[in-house]
Amino acid sequence: MKIPADELNKLLAAHFPDVIGKTMRVEKVAEMTSDVRLLYDDRHLRPGETISGAALMSLADMAMYAAILGTMGPVLLAVTTNLNINFLRKPRPADVTGQCRILKFGKRLVVGEVFMYSDGDDRPVAHATLTYSIPPDKNDKEASA
């Protein structure tokens, strides 16, 4: 692990002030994995007393970002290139935890998956796979995209 959860929360709160510390919190971070909690908030509710899909997608994205930073250290340059999410069950009106596991950490692309669970239920409410692109080193003269 290149950065502990406390420090990562501070770092992310500086960059995503509307999200980290307000609607999400990194709970665990380690080499290739992370747990990020989506705090229950009326604003995430949708008709039928359920959590919005948008909130779950943000959660998946943040969990993956946290796992990347936990693996490569606080380099805030990775960008999401692809996200695929399956909504499996209606989340209950409660916190949701996103558990990320990185499947491949390449020099240019990082691929991971995130399982999302409502508090108190061990059946996933959603599952996402994500790809992040790691920009070429700034020192590399032939920066590309």
Query: Using the 8-state DSSP alphabet, how is residue 140 labeled?
Result: -
Query: Using the 8-state DSSP alphabet, how is residue 30 labeled?
Result: E
Determine which residue in the list 11, 30, 72, 113 makes contact with its own copies, applying CB under 8 A: 113
Minimum separation from the CB atom of position 15 to its own copies (A): 5
Tokens encoding 57 = 């997608």
Binding status of residue 85 toward its own copies by CB under 8 A? yes
Q: What track of x and - describes contact with its own copies for positions 27 through 46 (by CB under 8 A)? A: ----------------x--x
Binding status of residue 108 toward its own copies by CB under 8 A? yes
Tokens encoding 2 = 């290149």
Q: String of b and e for 71-81 (b: at least 16 CB within 10 Å)?
A: bbeeeeebeee
Q: What share of the chain is helix, strand, coil (3-state, %, to 5)?
A: 25, 40, 40
Binding status of residue 76 toward its own copies by CB under 8 A? yes
Map residue 48 onto helix, strand or coil. Answer: coil
Contact positions toward its own copies, by CB under 8 A? 15-16, 18, 43, 46-47, 53-54, 57-58, 61, 76, 79-89, 103-104, 106-109, 111, 113, 123-124, 127, 129, 131, 133, 135-137, 140-145
